[in-house]
Each structure stands twice: as structure tokens, then as C-alpha cells.
Structure 1
Amino acid sequence: MNLASSSFLGDEMITGGIPINRAGFEPEAEPLIRRYLRIIMRRRYVILGATALFLLLGLVITLLMTPKYTAVSTIEISRESNRLTNFEGVERETGAADQEFYQTQYGLLKSRTLSERVATQLRLVDDPLFFERFGVSSEDPAFEQVNGRYTAAGRETRQRVAGEILRSNLSVSPTRLSRLVDIGFTSSDPSFSARVANSWAENFIQTNLERKVQATSYGRNALQKELAQAKDRLDESQRQLVAYASQQRIINLPAESGDRSAPERSIVADELATLSGELSKATAERIQAEARYVQLGRNGASPEALRNLAINSLRQNRAELGAEYERLLMQFEPEYPAARALQSQIREVDNSIAREEGRVSQSLLADYRQAQARENSLKARVEQLKSNYLDLRRRSIQYNIYQQEVDTNRTLYDGLLQRYKEIGVAGGVGINNVSVVDAADVPEKPSSPRLLVNVLLSLLVGLAVGAGIALALEQLDEAIADPREVERLLGLPLLGSIPKIEDVTPKDALLDRKSDLVDAYIAIQTNLAFTTEHGVPRSLSVTSTRPAEGKSTTALALATTLARAKKRVVLVDGDMRSPSVHYLAGVGHEVGLSNFLAGQDDLEPLLFQMKEFGLVAMSAGPIPPNAAELLTGNRLNLLLTRLLEQYDHVVIDSPPVMGLADAPLIASRVEGVIYAVESHGIRSSQVKTAVGRLAAANARIFGAVLTKFDAGKASYGYGYEYGYGYGRQVAEQG
């Protein structure tokens, strides 16, 4: 038996690869991909069932659908006709208007007029077979037949309906990055589809030519008259403009770029702009000269004075003489001849410095006055030009009105002239800009239904619906299917998982020391050794949320494994409402726990041997009227104290938690609780509620035991099917 699967690392226990943090347990976050894989494996039959259902449904629908045939004719739509004159061919450059042009052509291909024209040409308006083929109801008076033929009164309505039918079954598919357009028509008759597709292309070409002829014939005459009128208005407005400019002596220079659309420049405005710039420069120069002159008065600290070599040399000489004079004063009186001589030299140097600074000051003052005079002169000239410019503006108001009239007339004339030229070119064009590239052939194979596409689509839809149902069931299903979910959903440490046994009773499985059940409970016992400082708890209870979750089997199994480890163990049946321990020993429950809790002090008559399991047990005793009242007193504490004096461990098979107060009362008096959770059978919300009741009773929960675990129903990726029978399987195979 390999117990190496449980090891102690600091405050954490590793149980079958699942971390249990005793200091502060927090469930490990499950990776998203693993979570989805787990859902897929758990709900694989739902997903496969939905996929198979939709696959079958798609296959049946495909086989029941009426075959449709699509005939396609290809045309080329050029931006303009390639041949413009009799002498040269010109290819029009691609521009931004091309997209608008082609979208217009696509719209014309789907127009109501074209569809009704095709219906009339193919004589579909009076063809009953055509309307029956597309399922048109004959309840409308326009479709009433007299002697097997439609009446003439409803022809207009039938033409409109026929056009709608053709448009609804038509497809216009431009080929990307080309001038080719595919015109497709779909119907149940392949020959009819080809006829409609070819007729559609031919009628589109004819309508295009008709529009050109109409536009040329009517537009040319109208534009010629408008062009003559526009030319007269342009000449008259130009003469009026020149006469007014001569009268008011308004002289404007043409734009520098030579562009006729650019506005003309006035001489006064040009001169005013030039002198304004010169005035700004003169003002700046005057401000600088004034600033230099003002700074000179600050103890000669102006920049000019500081840069003057003569002043700097005199100041240096003055500093040297001053230093020499101070040195003599340290030894002699001021009247000393040498000191008096130095003092005289210092005065002469000071006078020289003052004269030099005065000369610099006069120079700066002259510069300042010169800059000021130039600024004033420019100001006067600018003011005079402003007056001239304002006078020119007043005289130019009417001139600008005449100029705008000239520009407007010239724009209108140029536009009409350009349009007249275009119509003239179009009138001489003999080649249509739309041509048939490939005529539609009678299709040999149906275009729909497409079996492979429908099957793939059904497969994808089935997978999506199955995945959606699986996710919905996963959200609604609160059952615990994997050991890892004990930690993730309940927040409880996992002590171990107990495999589901078949074809054998739990008692027989426990008596077989080589069974998987025994191996599982030995691993749980090993994990319990790390829950307290002194190893396996001396007193513990085993409970569950509801009956039949395997708590009694877990209590018996833990007591058995402890007894086989040479420990003195007593198993107490604490479920006084539905006792079960006495069944395993084949005895009655006439005396037991309820007797002691009621006041009987002698323990020996209450205990019996379970020799098969190597332990001592106490039955629940006679079923009391209210078991909770017996547990509220101090007798249970007394029983535990007396039993622990004689035995190493006391294991209590506790009642379920939900709906009863017995389990919390028992849990509050033992060292801790082992919580049995039935795999695939109990909802996690119920378990959380029950665990909350135990927490409210200040009970310590050592961890959870997942019972009746079926590895075949577990999620993908955990490998729980690799279990306790590994060594025996190898031996059997060997």
C-alpha cells in the first residue's frame, strides 16, 4: 500500500495533488480552458446528442428541398465609351466618382422598370405557369382566368408582380477590382433561369443606349440656347466692370500665382502692408535704442559701457590705484606725499571714466532720437495710406459687386460649355459602354440545396446549441462531480475521495484489506494525522447534509483503519433518530447512547465488541422522543471524557445536519468534524447551508470526504481513474 501520496509541506498538505492550506484555506482558481474542458467532458452526451439531432434535421431538410438552378451571365460596364473621336482612343482615368457611377449602375440593374421590361419581353405577364412556379396565389382578381387565359384588366398588376418575382430571385454580383458584373437568376427550371439571365443583360444594354440617345437629343439643343445667353451676360458684366474701374481710377494688380480664380491685389493695400511691416521694425528698433539709453544711467552698467574697451581699461587702472592707495593708508597718513599723489591720479582716472561714459551716453541718445524720428515718419505715412485704403474700400464696394457678377457669369459659362462638349462627344459615340462578356448557359447542376454546406452548417449549429445547453445545465447543476469541486464550490479541504463500489456491500469491502475502499480510507486517515498537533484527532464526528450520503460507512471505515493501526477505538452511533451501527454488528439497540445521556453511568453494558473490525462500539440506544434535548446537557461531554480515558480515539456517527439540531450539538463537543459529501448526488448550495450551520455552532471542520465517487462520470483532466488498485492491477497483469 502506497501512502506516499500524502506529504506535509509547511502549513500545506498535498492530497492527491490538491493543496490544502491549514492556516487559511482558499480554493485554487481553476484555469478557464480546463473549466471548459471539464464541462465538455461532463456534458459530452448532451453536446453529441444536440449535434446529431441538428445534423439529422439539416440532412432531412436538405433532401426535402426543391432543387434550384442558377444561371449567370457576365457583363462589362465601362466608365465611359473608349472611342471618343474618329482619330484617337482615350482611356478615362479612375477617379472618386467611379464608385458612385458603378453603384448607380448596380441600382439600375435591380430597377423595377428593367424587371418589368424583361417580364414583358419574355411574355411572363400572361403566363400562368410562371406564376404557379413561384407560388403566386390566384385569389387576386388580376389572376382570374377566362378560358385558360388571364384577362386584360389585370395586366398592369400582373406586370408589377412579375417584376417583383424576378427581382427577388435575381442576384447582381460585381467582381472585385474589375468592371465585370455577374447577373444571376435562380429558379427550379434551368432553361428558364438561363433565358431570364440573358434577357436581363440584353435589356440593360438597350435601356442604357436609349438613355444616352434621349439625353443627347434633348440636352444638346437646350444647352446651346443656355450657352449663348450665358456668353452675352458674361460679356456685358465684363464691360461694366472695366468702365467702373476706369471711372473710379481703381488699379488692381493680378494675383502673383497667375491663377484667374485668385483675387486681384490693390496697389494701396500692397504699399500699406509693406510700410506696416517697416513700421513694426522701426518701432522695435526705437524701443531697443531707448532701452540702451535708459540702462546707461544705471551707474554705467549699460551693455555699451561694459563692452567699451577704454572704459574697462580705465576702471581696471582705477581699481589698481585704489588698491595701492589703501595699502599706503595702512602705513601712512592721507597727507603723506605718495598717498596724496595716488589720490590725485585716482581723481584723474575717475574724470576720464566720466568723460568716456558721457561720450557713450551721447552716442546712445543720438541713436535713440534717430530711431524715434524714423518711427514717427513711418507712422505718418502709414496713417496717410490707411486713409487712402479706406477711401479705396468705399469706392471698391460697387467694383466688387461687378467683379462677383463677372465671376459668377464666367463659372456658369464654363460649366455649360464643358457640358455642351461632353454631350457633343456623347452624341458622336457609336459604341455602348456596356457589353456582354459571357452569356448564361443552361445550368447542369443545382445551385441549392448544397448538401455538404448544409451538413457543415447543421453540424456547427448543433455544436453551438449543444454547447449552450451544456453551459446552461452546468449553471443549473449544483452536483459535485469531481474531487476538485469540493474545494472550488464548498471551500473545504478535501481529505480524500471514496470510490463507488458495486456488487459488494461496504462491510465486505472494509473486511477485504486489499479493496479500493480500504485504500481510500487509509489515505484519509493519513491526511487526518496532519489536522492537529497530536496527529489524528482523538474525538471526531462524521456527518453529512442528508441521509444516505455514506457518513455511517465513513465513520465505520475510519474507526476500522485506526483499530488496524493498533489504536483503541470506540465507535459511537450518535444518530438516535435513525441508528445503523448495530446492524453491522448484528445486535439490537436496546441499550446505548440514549441511556447514558438519560442518566445511566455504567458504560460497560452500553458497549459491545465488533470483532470483525477490531473495535468497540456503542449503539444509539432506544430512540428517545427528542434526541436534541438529550444532547443539550453536559452528559455528552462526560461520555467523551470517560471514553477517552479508556480509548485512544472516539468516532461518532453523527446525524445529518439539515433539519436537525443533533449534528451541530455533537460537532461543538468533539475536536472536529469530517464532512461526507455524496458525489453526483447532493447540491452544493445545500452543503454550503449545512456547513454554515456547523460554523454557527463553532464546530471545526477538518475537511470533506467525497463519497460514492465514479471516475467514469468525472471531468476530463484530473485522472482520478488512476486510483488505489494500481499495484494489484500490475500484479495481476504480471
Structure 2
Amino acid sequence: MTKVEGLELESSGRDVEFYQTQYSLLSARTLAERVARQLKLAKSEAFFAAHGLDNGDGLLNSTDSLGTLSKKELDKREKLAVGFLLANVSISPIRGSALVDVSYTSSSPKISADISNTWTQQFIEQSMARRFASTADARKFLEGRLEELRMRLETSERDLVNYASAKDIVSLNRERDTDGKTTSERTLITAELEGLNKELADATADRIASESRLNAKANRELTPDPLIINGASAQLRQKRAELRAEMAKLMVQFEPEYPSVKVLAEEIRVLDDGIAKEEGRLTNREAARASNNRITDYRAALNRESGLTRRVNTLKKRFSQQQRDIIQYNIYLREVDNNRQLYDAILQRYKEIGVAGIGSNNVAIVDVANIPNSPSSPNLPFNLVLSLMLGLGLSVVVVVGLDQIEEGLRDPSQVNRLLHLPLLGGVPSIPPENIQEMMSDTKSVLSEAYFTVRSNLAFSTDHGVPRTFMVTSTRSAEGKSTSSTVLATILARTGKKVLLLDADMRSPSINGLFGLQNDRGLSNYLAGEDDWQNLLIPTTNDFVTILPAGPAPLVRQSY
């Protein structure tokens, strides 16, 4: 018998992969579609209303005058229902156990309970249907094999019957073993030969008995012929036998001359004479008739034996021919047995596969979903705590992010470490209204800071302060003009002539720091005026000359 295992072994329930697979199947789209069809959610206005969707939203169309929906609208509603189911169902495995909590969230308690219960029930039915469907290919294959084997079995049985009919082989009964193979088979000739052989043995025994009677000696005392013994003679013989037995007992203890022995001997002699006289009374006619009867019986037994012998010999010849025919007959018979065994085995396998997995399921509902008495959300305390935690977490993330994004330098020591450039010095931030006053004071904090910058510039090259250098910044209003003016003034104090060029064409301010006009300057030279010396403007400091930015060029805009 073939043993068919279930789709899922019992040992597989202990595997992590098995449980993960079941969790995925519990949240599969196919299961949601089964639930939607079972509860007819596509036609349930209450279901869509429980998820905040009604006809006024424009996503759902109303039914017609007959209360029916079109095929297109029904498909649309079914897709929406499946989407709502997948978005609101919750599959929560219980840690440390094989239990799973299935819950559903909506604004309707009854709909939520109905969907949860239907979800688990449909999962069980889907599991059983999956087990049955997994054997569909095997059943289809076995059906083809069964049909093929059935035809082969019919053909082999037909060949066996046709051959037996052609060779006059009549089968009376067959014996098969536990495997279905034919171990012995009785044919008509075999049964007939067995019967005649038994009759021949009986006839031979009768002939021998008749022959023995015919050839027996005439000693009636020792071997009397029953045909010539009448009733009186039989009684006398019986009495004589009793007396002889009694005398034999006495002879064990006494001699022949013992009186009792002598008396018994005389009685036996008298009985012998009586028996002889009684048998002598038979006429010669009766003796001849008895002899004729013995001869007739002997001849009848001999004829019967001869006839049976001839019939047995004839059957032996037929049996020998049949034995030669039985060889091919057994070939056909073995083919029939093999085809029948194959057909029975495949049929048994087909029956077992047809019921494999049906009725056996390792999934059961422990507790059904009840209609809740209170809503599961919103939970105000939980939401407040969650909002606080999220706010704190988001604040930390923003602070850390801004700190990572900020690329400014807060400490002068970061210049050399981050930019890999030497630091010339640090300049304090001075209000604009105090810059002129502090620039004129050589002992002010501003003058001291820029003097340090000038000294560092002097040590930056082997020939002292660079003959030409540029002051710039990453953005506006960072002190470019102030730094340029102060550095020029400090360099002039050392007796060096300084040409200060204002190249800030958008917002020129050098001329303002010296109290000069900006009607002519760098823009004129850039515009094509070659006499740049006429563009220079002396300042109150004899060692400082400036080249203002000049008037801003006009930009023609076309519309």
C-alpha cells in the first residue's frame, strides 16, 4: 500500500521558514480577494462607509434604478475593497508560541469582527484547497496511466480467453497469493483426469478382490466362501470360535488331559461335525451358481478396469498436449496478472491522492473575534506620548543634521585643521560707525589685529609683504572693504606706497571710507579708457592712492 504524505509535514511546523510562509499567506492578496467575495464587500455600502468612502467622494458610483452595478463599477469596487482589506488587516504572531492574532481596523465594530472571523476561516479553506490543488497534476497523470493500463488489461485478458478457447483450455478455478499472482489453476482435463484416476484405482482394487475370491482354496474352515454359508452354519461357526477361545485360555494353565479341557475339546469336535453336515447339505447346483457369480464379478471388474485404463491413457495424451499449450497460456496469464497488479496499484495511488490533505488540517481557530465595545483608536494618552517622543527625536535629528550641514568656522584653530591653510590672524567684528575712529587709532583693537595680519603677511614670503594681494570673501558684508582699507593704511605707515583698487562692481565702498567720489574708476578702464593714471585718486594719506570701482555700467534689458 502506498503511503501518501500531506503537503506539509508535522516536523515542518517547527521550522521558522514554515511560520514565516504562513504569515505571508495570511496577508496575501488572494486571501483578501476570497474574503471580499465571501462577504460581498463590493456591493456593501456600509463597508465603504466604514472606511470613510461614500458616493459623495466621487470614487463610487451609485446603483441604477434596479439597484444593480455595472461590470466595470463592480470590478472597481472589488479592487477598492481588496485594497482596504490589505491596508487595515493586522497579522500579529504571538511571541514564543504558534498562535497568530488576526485583527481588522475600521469605524464599524461589526464589520471589523465579521472580516476578522471570515479572514481566518477563509485561510483554513484556502490551505485545504491548496493541498488538494497541489495533487491536480498527479491526478491528471494517474488518470492517463489508469486508462492506458485498463486498455492493456482488457487486451491481455481478451488474448488469454481467445487462446484458451482455441486450445480448448477450460479453467475451473484459480488460486492467487497476497500479491495477486496466480499460483495454481485447475483445468477441466486436470479435474477429469483426477476423477478417472481415482475410479481406476477403485476398479483395480475391485478386480484384485474378485480375482482373490476366484482363486481362493476350498478350505471352508479357514476361508469359507460367504456365498455358500447359510445362517445355521454361521451360528455354529460362531459357537465354535467361542469354545476355542475358552479352551485356549485353559490351555495356558492346564494340560490337555485336564477334565475341563477334554470337555471343551469334545464340544468343539461335535460342532465341527455339525458344521460339516450343514455345509454338506448344499447341492451341487448351488455351488456351481456361486462359482459362476465369482467369475462374472471378476470379468465385470476386469472390463471396468480396462475401460478406465483406456480413458485415462487418452486423457493423459490430451493432458500432455495441454501442458505444452499451457506454456503459452501461462505467458498470457502472467501478462494479465502483471497488468492487473499495475492497474490496482495505480488505482489505489489515485484514490489516496484524491483524498490527500482533505480533512487533516494543522490550523484551527482558538478564539473568534467579538464585536468590540470601545474603539481601538484614537488613544489620546498614547498619541500624546508618541507625539512628544517623535518631536524630541525629530529635534535631535534636525540639530544633528544642521550641525553636519553647517560648514562655517567657529574657531580660528579650525582653519589650519580643516582648510589646510595658514591663519593670518583674527579680526574683531566692529560696528560700522566705529570703524573710522578705530582705524585712526594705532593702539585700537582693530589696528592691533590688522597689524598682526600685516606681520604674518610679511613672514609668508622670503621678500616680506607680497607686492600684490587680493582681499575677498565668500559672501557680501563680510568686511572686505574694511580689511583692504586698514591693511593699506598700516602698510603706508611703514613708508610703502599702496595702490588700493576697488573691484567690487556691485557694491563699491572704498571711496566712501576715504570720503571720495566714485564718478571715475576701474569701470572706465575696463570700458576702454587707456589712461589709467588719470583714474587714480590720491587720499589724505600721501602713501595711499585708490582706484575706485567707478560708475556702474548700464545694462540694456530687452523685453
Structure with bigger RCO (C-alpha 8 Å, 6+ apart): 1
Give TM-score, length-normalised by structure 1. Answer: 0.32
Q: Choose between structure 1 and 2: higher strand proportion.
A: 1
Q: Choose between structure 1 and 2: higher helix proportion.
A: 2
